[in-house]
Structure 1
Amino acid sequence: MRYIPLCKQITALYFLFLVFLPLSAEGAEFAPVVTNFTKKEYKAANQNWAVAQDAHGFLYFGNNNGLLRYDGAAWELFPVPGNRVVRSVLPAADGRIYVGSFEEFGYFQPLSTGELRYHSLSQQLRNYKMQNDEIWTIISCRGKIYFQSFASFFVFDGKQITGHRMSGTFLFFNQYRNNIYSHVDGSSLCRYDPAKNKFHPVIEGECPKSSITAVLPYDATKTLLVTTHDGLFILEGSKCKRFESQANEFLIKANANRAIITSDSVFVIGTILDGVVAVNKAGKILWKLNSTNFLQNNTILGMYCDRANNVWLALDKGIAFVRTGSRVKYVTSFQPSIGAIYGLDKYGSDIYIGTNQGLYAGKIGSLREDDKNVNVSLVSRIKGQVWDLKRFGNQLFCCNNEETYCLTGNSISIASPVRGGVCIKQGVINGQEVLVQGTYTQLCIYRKDARGQWVFSNVVDNFINPIRYLEIDYQGTIWAAHFHEGLYRIVLDRDLRHIREMKTYTSLSGKTHTSINVFKVANRVVFTNGERFYTFNDLTKEIIPFRALNAGLRNFASSYRIEPFRDNTYWFIRDDMAALVQVENEKVRILDVVNYSSFPNENVDKNQSIVPFSDSQCVICLENGLAFYNLNEHRSKSGIPFKLCLKSVTAYRADNSAVQSVALSEPDALPFAFNSIQFTIAYPNYSKIENVRFRYKLDGWDKKWTDPKNSVVQEYVRLPYGKYCFRAEVVASTGEVIDRLAYDLEILPPFYLSVWAKIFYFLLLVIAIRAIYLLIKTEQKKKRDKIEQKHIELRRQEKEKSEQQIMKLEKEKLETEVMLKSKELAGSTMSIIKKNDILVRIKEELTLQKEHLGSQYPKKYYDKIVHIIDENLSSEDDWAVFQSNFDRIHENFFRNLHTRYPELTSNDLRLCAYLRLNLSSKDIANLMNISLKGVEAGRYRLRKKLNISAEKNLTEFMIELK
């Protein structure tokens, strides 16, 4: 790159002057930060008529749909009978919330459970008939509650309610120095005399022509009067004169409707036509709010200054929360838009604002109460992205997308030949005081000339990288953060041109490559990757976690930008909020937190800048807007306590079939069926809505605290019976525990674990023990009896065994005898067979001999011998003996056979016996004295009678027959 010599550069620029565009950007009047609530958020009607705060800090609004309650987290609507419009609200010292409506007034009484129950007072009126009476104001004076309509009013002494109808009409009742004042038609401002039930005029001489809507204290002897159309007046004694104020002309046109005085003695006046205006005691307008800047609607129907000195507005459309008690006092937006603000410089009364559209310049005072706006104009020569504005002495360096400019007095010049300036820092390198600038491409070095002015010197050779942030440590080392990725540690030679040493860091955690930013805290270079902070260890030459800083910052350890404020005090900036932190000797203390979500303007993503104006004031740069922070602001009258309170406790069945509310103090023990519990808490410090979290612990159930969270509801399902202590803490963004509460409760045992159940169980236990004793005794007896029985059984078994042994022996003996008998029977049968065979052969031989001898052998002798033979062949007597013996041996064979087959004949039975003895047909023929054919015929007949198939062996059948 070719560089232009410094002398030629100065000659070419030759003290150019600022040239402004014809179009100027005018800032709106500085005003407090405003938070708007719409009907979608509070879930009621658009129109709101009144606002007030009770002793707990809860806010109440009179709404077209009823009474609205807000605790900082949740909105609740309480209808009035008939769903009437609530025009007026008064939280009284007795805890009641008095409300007024059309022909209806009364109060909501808080129950022990925290719920509100309505009680009508208008229904208790005696001897008075309401006629279109609408309650516009409720005040408490001298121990009585006054409900005011335009032509009548009602007094409640705590027991009785009385109505008073007056002859004339009056505007709003004002309680002032323990008296009631009101504008009465025809008499101007009057004081009410309760003893005479009359209004007495208090102004002598000329009175304001229009109605007096508010009476406010000015000092010990003077009173401020707010009129509807004539502006402001001062009442001293009985004399009234106009209060010279910048607001008079505005109020005359805007129609004043309501007015209050804040705790820091600022008069805030709401109008019908043009929003709200704040005036100090000198009569100067501090700020104005209307639909052109922050309000949803211009008609102010109700106003209230809360305990933290914030102002609440009940609007014809919606609700507005004006943060007058905040350290962030003023916010302004420019018309037309000047774009996203990246940097700002204030030098005397001159102000310079660097934006993404260019450099704007203008005038500004010291941000006192009378500094109400900022008018700036675009410097025509410096357009496009301005990254940074840094002042060194009388020189202002403007790091611009195109060039780096130097503004000195009324002159402007190009400070460097390198295009695209981003950041610039001052430091000492190699004993030389220098400025080092990061650009889109190179590092530039600036030195002082003979006049003590900073001028471009040179670039650092062989370094071409876009640098977003840089710092110079006490050793003269340059730490340069790449625009998108990584960090460079650069050590220069003495000529400041050449790099002697350079190291690149792509990650701080040793994991993935990431964007790294570098800043300086307590003269120590620190690095951040948006997760936590790191620092450089000079001994080990390593980047290490900055443990003390990370621990002290808590949630703000994820900050990605640091801006110095004053000695040892820095702004640590995250996407959503910024913390003011004091760092001294590695002791870290978070002093305050600013939440970006409270601003109507968006922040500049990843490039939020906070610029100190003085030791106590900073300006916060936003998208087309500025917010001013005053550290010395006596914030919200910090002596006022804000208590964390228990709003409701609800017990329910686990199946949600039934729900019951629980008393907030000294609650009764809960039945076990209602062992699921929901706790709802409230912390009505509206100034800290965005900067607090809540954590919970149920002693007896939880082992540790929950993580801080936004939810004000904590739920426990199916708790065991026992005693518990619910604890809650409100934790600031700084990590400080602001307040805490504890609530004791007990869940009774289930019916089966109650006292009566335990008595019943005890009786059952006694009975059971007795029964067990008797059972054991019985069992022991049974066991003894069983043992004895076992012994008897053993003896019986031994006896049976002996008897069985005897029987076995006898059976064996019998079987042996049977076998012998069978053998004898078989032998006997065979003897008979042989005998018969012999006799038959003898008979046959005798017959042969007779035939051969003929008459030689006398017939009488032959017949005699044959007769003897026939008599000795098997006879019926032999068969009877045989049958009897056969039955004994073969287990009543004949009897069983005859019983089963009664059609069997005697011969059939005889044949069956012979077959069972397995005799041959020949033997059977001999025994039965028949031929073999007769035996076969007998077999056939027998098979038929016994119904035996041909396949079955008849002999086997007889042997198997039982």
Structure 2
Amino acid sequence: MGIFCQVKSIGTPNVKNYKRTEYKGGTQNWSIDQDKKGNIYFANNSGLIQFDGSTWRKYSLPNNTAIRSLKIDESGRIFVGGNNEFGYFKAGEKGELKYYSLSKLISIKDGKDINLIWRIHIFKQEVIFQSFTKALFYKNNKIRVLNAPKKFQFSFVVRNRLYFQDKELGILEYKVQKLYPLKATKVLNDKEIWAMFPLANDKILLATLEKGLFIYDFNSVKEWNTHANDFIKKNTSLGGAIIKNKFIVLNSVLNGIIICDLDGKIIQHLNRQKGLQNNTILTSFVDNKNNLWLGLDNGITFINENSPFTYFDYSYNIGTVYASVLHQNNLYVATNQGLFYHSWNTSFADEPFNRVEGTIAQAWNIQVINNVLLCSSNSGALVIENNKVSKILDTKGYFGFKPITKHPEYAIGENYNGFSIFKITSNKAEFVNQVQGFDETTSTFEVELDNDYVWLKKNPYLYQMELSDDLKKFESIKKHTQISAVNKGIESLQLINNKIYFQTKNHFYRFSTDQNDFFEDRKMSSLFKNIPVINTVIQDSKGNLWYSFHQSIGVLEKKDNEKFVRKETAFSNLTGNLVNNYISINRIDSKNIFIGLTDGLTHYDATIPNTFITKPTAFIASFSFPSDTIITGNLKTIDKLFNLSYSDNHVKFTFSSPVFENQENVTYSYKLEPFEDTWRSWSPISIKEYTNLREGNYTMKLRTRNSFGVLSEIDQVKFTISPPWYRHFLAYLIYLLLIAVGIYVISNRIKLKIRKNKYYETIEQRRLYLEKESKIRQEQHELEKEIEKLKNDKLQIKILAKDKELVNNSLQVVKKNKTLNTIISKLKDIDTNILDDSTKSEFNKLHKSIIKEVNTDKSWKDLEKHIKNVHFDFLKRLKEKYPTISPRELDLSTYLLMNMSTKEIAEIMNISNGGVELARYRLRKKLGLNKKENLIGFLMGI
């Protein structure tokens, strides 16, 4: 930790407010202290509040009363005092803070009227709890009671001496277990002393509630006639703190805090207007990095005092800052809301910036050229005199001005649509003309001039423009797309040591007029060799080179030996707050450097050593698993190996780093060995869970990186996860035993099985022989059946052939009958009346004989009956399968099965050939056959 401390009088330090919704406690915070690890503790209305940088934790007293005082000793015990209760918190085996009451150690008589414990001191190896009625001295687990002579107010330890204020006896010093009144201090009996601070020459500064500040030299009490005293008398004091015996912090009831030097000069004033969330400050505490904590009437505030940076924000009436300049003892700031100024010779503590009269629009730049103050704004080119606009040179919007090297009394201004020429002499400026030949809008640009050219960088081009001698036009304009064949692109354009440099990828080039080409300046490039890729380079009044990269800045500080020292770490806090493309650096001297921000202006004191950049500390704050939580951050050491059951293989870690400045930029990296081989990427997330871890030994490692990029040492927690019961060592022994028993049992069973198998083998062979013999008989029987079937099939074929023959014969009979019927028909047509009687008798006998032949011929009916008998099974199966089939369709199916032709079927069924085809179509449809299926083959398959 650095011992240097500086409270700055310009600007306000960075302020971080914590509301009660964040710390989950009561409104009022009465006392603050810090342990060796850096954790901060607050005596709060709802109990003890602990903050480790990531997590707030609250611990209550047994009676849930408010805690009004606290003090931490060397061993880490947190002594607290409340209403009729006092004791200490101490970390248990699992890191949880346990409360141990000490009020039980005193007698009932002494414990009756203790009331509130307002102060706790650690003095000469004793812990002293002080109320208005008593002082209780604790040592070796014993309490010694010191009653107030009349009534105590408060007590203080100054230069290792213990003092009490008594309401009637004045200030009393405690020595050798007795109280001794101090000379001339009874004049303070009507004044409540809230703080004592050591001053030079063995003097003590006394801060009273309503009467102001007094100096006591052990002979007399005198009022401290200073600005600090005037402030306290007006706003009432609630004590304070001292910073490195150099600066005094004074709390007030009505108006925040002031920080003054030991002569009473107010260096800094912070109140609600300057960023505090409350104007009533109950307590203040200086932490181990000389930063300031405030316990408020409602909330907690952290103030980053130990920093070379202070800020001017909305409380000073300024917004986004694009440029600043010091002129005639006024600091001018160009902002998005106009031009503002503040007197350089008056205090910045309470006075905001004032607007320059006549500037209400965007101001892009503020410059001094030939002793004339020029403002480039959206309203035009403005001349500023006596803190107001004295002249509008041109109403077009302007971005800035550059002196013309060849014409010392002239300057060129870049406006919204080109360039203009201005004549600027001592205390006088006037518009001359618009430069012809270039009228593009240059919203994002860089312009520099040398003896020969005006150089304009407007992405993605670099313009090389030659200005005419009469300054009225550009005689030539050349456009460059690159400055190097090796390093593509054009990143920035800058004037360094009165020479124009063109930069790309940290390589710096210049232009040779003789060679009409760009060449690299290797000396300049070497300065930026190990620096991240830069966007802009600005040279300040001392020759320091400021550069921007990744929304941050750094500086190469020029030393007396012409060498440069690189500084980046200190500016990392500004990352993301700089104004892109408008980096503003205004160096007045080493103690006063102003940098423009998106939300104001920052003041940087380069003379303050970088002791404020300290190495952070990383803590694994807690280690949780389903059955328990270990608050490892509270343990003194965490070398212990934690043994977890397999059911606890879901673990969670929380991280902390008691780094309170720029806390949002603190990041963590971790790895769980051997589960992870590499460190996780940096992240602000302070919690990590692992689920379903296998059994084994693990080491959780954590490191942190603060806002300055400084890495901490590694913190680690070791733990082991036991295997599940079925993968335990004893389980494996049981498995081996079971396997051995199993092998023995199986071996015996196999032997028995073999003996049984030999017995059954003979039986099985006999059975197989009988089965084989039976199978042979079965096969012989099947063969006989097959032969019988073949015989039947052969017989069936013969029958079908006979059927066919019979059908043919029947068809012949049908044809004969048909012929006979024809003859009968023709005989009927013969007129028998013309015949004689004998002939007529013979004719009639012939006619009757033919009719009798036709009527007595039953061959077709016999054939039909025969066919049905032969194909009875077929017709039965067909009818069962297709119940809706008609008798005529059954007859057709039979004829088709007999492979009769269409003509034959037509003759038998006494229909035409077309009728047969129609009958076949209807039969196919009823049988559900498609066109490709064969009807006869289908019928044969039934």
Q: For residues 450 and 39 of structure 1, do their structure 2 counterparts lie closer, same or farther at Cα, with a shift above 3 Å needed?
A: closer
Q: Would you say the 8 A contact 1:136–1:172 is kept in 2?
A: yes
State the AA in 1 paired with 2:367: K
- Displacement of 1:443 after TM fit? 3.1
Q: In structure 1, which of residues 355, 360, 370 is the aligned counterpart of residue 335 of structure 2?
A: 355
1:152 to 134, 147, 152: 134
Matching of residue 612 in structure 1 with residue 587 in structure 2? yes
Contact 1:62 1:86 survives alignment (8 Å) = yes
Matched, 1:492 2:465: yes
**Whole-Å separation in 2 of the counterparts to 1:553 and 1:80:** 55
The answer for the alignment partner of 1:60 in structure 2 is 41
Match of 2:419 in 1: 443
Partner of 1:592: 570
Residue 291 of structure 1: how far off its partner (Å): 3.3
Q: Work out the CA distance in 2 between the residues paired with 1:313 and 1:633.
A: 24
CA distance 1:453–1:157, change in 2 (3 Å): same
Which of 683, 702, 711 aligns to 1:728? It is: 702
Q: Which residue of 1 aligns with 2:146?
A: 164
> In the alignment, is the contact (CA less than 8 A) between 1:387 and 1:401 conserved in 2?
yes
1:322-342: CA deviation from partner (whole Å, max 9, x where unpaired)? 22112223546567x465443
Give the SS at the match of 1:759: helix
Q: Find the residue that maps to 1:398 and give its secondary structure.
A: strand
Task: Check if 1:253 corresponds to 2:228.
Answer: no
1-structure distance, mates of 2:133, 2:700? 52
- Contact (CA 8 Å) 2:554, 2:566: kept in 1 or not? no
Query: Does 1:386 find its partner at 2:360?
Result: no
Q: Report the CA distance between 1:273 and its aligned residue.
A: 3.2
> Could you tell me how far apart the structure 1 residues matched to 2:756 and 2:528 are?
78
- Residues 383, 254 of structure 1: alpha-carbon distance in 2 compared, 3 angstrom cutoff: closer
SS of alignment partner, residue 736 of structure 2: helix
**In the alignment, which of 179, 182, 204 is matched to residue 199 of structure 1?**
179
Kindly report which structure 2 residues correspond to 1:731-750, keeping only aligned pairs within 5 A, or say none: 731-750=705-724
Shift of 1:393: 5.5
Distance 1:705 1:567, change over 3 A: farther
Amino acid at match of 1:628: H
1:792 is displaced (CA, Å) by 9.5
* 8 Å Cα contact 2:376/2:398 also seen in 1: yes
2:118 pairs with 126, 133, 136, which one? 136
Conservation of the 8 A alpha-carbon contact between 1:572 and 1:578:
yes
Q: Which moved more, 1:251-260 or 1:468-477?
A: 468-477
* Pair 1:549–1:423, CA change in 2 (3 A): farther
Report how far residue 131 of structure 1 moved: 1.9
Secondary structure of the residue aligned to 2:641 is coil
Number of the residue aligned with 2:825 = none
1:297 and 2:286 are equivalent in the alignment = no
In structure 2, what is the Cα distance between the partners aligned to 1:784 and 1:547? Answer: 95
User: What stretches of structure 1 of length at least 5 have no aligned partner?
Assistant: 1-27, 653-657, 816-962
Kindly indicate whether the alpha-carbon contact (under 8 Å) linking 1:133 and 1:152 is maintained by their aligned counterparts in 2.
no
Q: Distance in 2 between matches of 1:450 and 1:295?
A: 46
- Structure 2: which 5+ runs fail to align? 1-8, 633-637, 788-942
Q: Distance in 1 between matches of 2:762 and 2:606?
A: 102
Q: Deviations over 1:165-196 (max 9, x none)?
A: 32311122211222211211222221112x3x
How far the C-alpha of 1:796 sits from its partner, in A, is 7.8
Q: Secondary structure at the match of 1:498?
A: strand
Contact 2:10 2:603 in 1 (8 A): no
Matched with 1:227 is 208
Q: 1:155 to 1:725 in 2, by over 3 A?
A: same
* Corresponding position of 2:900: none
Provide the rounded CA distance (Å) in 1 between the counterparts of 2:766 and 2:428. Answer: 129
Alpha carbons of structure 1 residues 500 and 255: separation in structure 2 relative to 1, 3 Å: closer
Q: CA deviation at 1:250?
A: 1.9
TM-score by length of 1: 0.67
Higher alpha-carbon Rg: 1
CA contact (8 A) 1:30 1:373 kept: no
Residue matched to 2:630? 661
In 1, Cα distance between equivalents of 2:745 and 2:720: 37
In 2: Cα distance, 1:262 partner to 1:587 partner: 31
1:476/1:208 CA distance change after superposition, 3 Å: farther
Q: Distance in 1 between matches of 2:694 and 2:603?
A: 53
Q: Is 1:401 matched up with 2:374?
A: no
Distance in 2 (alpha carbons) for counterparts of 1:569 and 1:330? 22
Q: Give me the whole-angstrom Cα distance separating, in 2, the residues matched to 1:284 and 1:433.
A: 46
What SS is found at the alignment partner of 2:589? coil
Distance 2:740 2:564 in 1: 70
Residue 79 of structure 1 aligns with which residue? 60
Residue 691 (str. 1) matches residue 668 (str. 2)? no
The 2-side partners of 1:245 and 1:212 are apart by: 18
The one-character-per-residue Cα deviations of 1:755-778 (angstroms, maximum 9, x if unpaired) are 212222232344455567667878
- The answer for the alignment partner of 1:459 in structure 2 is 435
Structure-2 separation of matches of 1:635 and 1:392: 35
1:420 paired residue number: 397
1:181 aligns with 2:163: yes
In structure 1, how many angstroms separate the alpha carbons of the residues matched to 2:92 and 2:264?
Answer: 46
Specify whether residues 729 and 95 from structure 1 end up closer, same or farther in structure 2 by C-alpha distance, changes over 3 A only: same
Cα deviation digits, residues 508-538 of structure 1 (max 9, x gap): xx99xx9x984549775457xxxx9998899
Q: Distance in 2 between matches of 1:95 and 1:615?
A: 42
Aligned to 1:877: none
What's the offset of the Cα at 1:631?
2.9
Residues 241-390 of structure 1: pairs in structure 2 closer than 5 A: 241-263=222-244, 265-331=246-312, 333=314, 337=317, 340-347=320-327, 349-365=329-345, 372=349, 377-390=354-367
Hey, what's the Cα distance between the residues in 1 that align with 2:598 and 2:393? 29
Whether the aligned pair in 1 keeps the contact of 2:379 and 2:395 (CA below 8 Å) is no
Compute the displacement of 1:299 (Å): 2.1
The corresponding residue for 2:76 is: 95
Give 1:570's aligned residue.
546
How many Å separate the matches in 1 of 2:384 and 2:413?
A: 16
Q: 1:222 to 1:413 in 2, by over 3 A?
A: closer
Q: Does the 8 Å contact 1:401/1:419 carry over to 2?
A: yes
Q: In the TM superposition, what whole-angstrom CA distance separates every residue of 1:715-752 from its partner, at most 9, and x where no partner exists? A: 21121111122111212345442443222222121222
TM-score (normalised: structure 2) = 0.69
C-alpha distance in structure 2 between counterparts of 1:432 and 1:778, whole Å: 121
Distance 1:802 1:775 in 2: 35
Correspondence 1:647 to 2:647:
no
Query: Partner amino acid for 1:346?
Result: L
Q: For 1:628 and 1:178, locate their aligned partners in 2 and report how far apart those are by CA, in whole Å.
A: 38
Q: Deviations over 1:672-727 (max 9, x none)?
A: 11011111121112124133211111121123222211122122112111112211
What is the one-letter code of the residue matched to 1:94? S
Partner of 2:859: none
Cα distance in 2 for residues equivalent to 1:113 and 1:317: 32
Q: What's the secondary structure of 2:277's corresponding residue?
A: coil
Instruction: Between 412-421 and 755-764, report the one with greater CA deviation.
Output: 412-421
| Contact preservation (8 Å) 2:184, 2:220 | yes
CA distance in 2 between partners of 1:729 and 1:608 (Å): 33
Residues paired across the two proteins, number: 746
Residues 261, 634 of structure 1: alpha-carbon distance in 2 compared, 3 angstrom cutoff: farther
1:892-931 correspondence runs (5 A): none
- State which drifts further: 258-267 or 461-470: 461-470
- Structure 1 position 468 matched with structure 2 position 449: no
Alpha-carbon distance, 1:594 to partner = 5.2
Deviation at 1:39, TM superposition (A): 1.3
- Conserved in 1, the CA contact under 8 Å of 2:644 and 2:720? yes
> Deviation of residue 802 (structure 1)?
14
CA distance in 1, matches of 2:145, 2:285: 27
**Percent of pairs with identical residues:** 24
Q: Residues 426 and 755 from structure 1, CA distance in 2 versus in 1: closer, same or farther, beyond 3 angstroms?
A: farther
Sort the Cα spacing of 1:549 and 1:691 in 2 relative to 1 into closer, same or farther, 3 A: farther
Structure 2 SS opposite 1:686 = coil
The within-5 A match list for 1:674-689 is 674-689=648-663
